[in-house]
Amino acid sequence: MPAKLKRLNTKFFQRDVLEVAPQLIGKTLVRQFAHGQHVRFMITETEAYRGEEDLACHAAKGRTSRTEVMYHRGGKIYVYLIYGQYWLLNFVTGEADFPAAVLIRSLENITGPGRVGRALQLNRTFYGEDLTLSDRIWVEDDGYLPEIETSARIGVDYAGDWASLPWRFSLRK
C-alpha cells in the first residue's frame, strides 16, 4: 500500500482534541529531511490543550500572533520555543476558531518534548506547517492498537484545577 494512503488526513485532526490526543498514541510520526533521508517514530505520549478557558492552554491568553495557528482548523503544526532552547511540537485539532492542540511529549526511545523537537530538528519554520500536505513531516496509521493510560498534564501547576485533569495520554507499558 502506498504510504500516502496511510497518512492521517484533515478528517482525523478536525475533531475534538480529547479524541485526537489519545488516538495519536501508537501512530507513526515521519520526518523527512532535505537530503532525502527519513526517520519514523511511534508516538508514545501526548497531552491535550483545549480552549481559552483551559488555563494551561496558551490560548488562555487569547488570540495573539503566537497562538494564532491554534485557532485554525485541525491538521497544522504549532511549534514554540520554550526556555529559549527547545522547540515543542504540537498538532492543531478541531474546528476553526476553537483553539486546541496536542503536545507531542514523547516518541519511542525519545522521552520528553524538548528532546522530541531536537531529534526532529524543528525550528520556527515549522509553525503553521500542514501535516496533511507537508513533504517533511506527517503522521501515518500503521495499524497498531495500543493500550492507553491517562494521567495529569506535566508542568502546568500554575493552571489551578485544570492541572489535575487526566489529559495526558501514554502507551501502557
Residues that bind DNA (CB under 7 A): 47, 49, 56-58, 61-62, 64-67, 78, 80-86, 88, 90, 101, 103, 112-116, 154-156, 158
**Integer CA distances (angstroms), 133 to 7, 38, 46, 75, 139, in order:** 10, 16, 22, 9, 11
Which residue, 11 or 61, has its beta carbon nearer to DNA? 61
Which residue, 6 or 42, has its beta carbon nearer to DNA? 42
Which residue, 6 or 159, has its beta carbon nearer to DNA? 159
Enumerate residues 6+ apart whose C-beta is below 8 A from 122: 79, 87, 89
**Minimum distance, C-beta of residue 10 to DNA, in the bound complex (Å):** 20
**Minimum distance, C-beta of residue 31 to DNA, in the bound complex (Å):** 17
CA distance 104 to 117: 9
Which residue, 36 or 83, has its beta carbon nearer to DNA? 83
Report the residue count for the chain: 173
**Integer CA distances (angstroms), 122 to 8, 33, 41, 119, 154, in order:** 20, 11, 15, 8, 21
* Block residue for cell numbers 511540537: 89
**Minimum distance, C-beta of residue 157 to DNA, in the bound complex (Å):** 8
**Minimum distance, C-beta of residue 170 to DNA, in the bound complex (Å):** 14
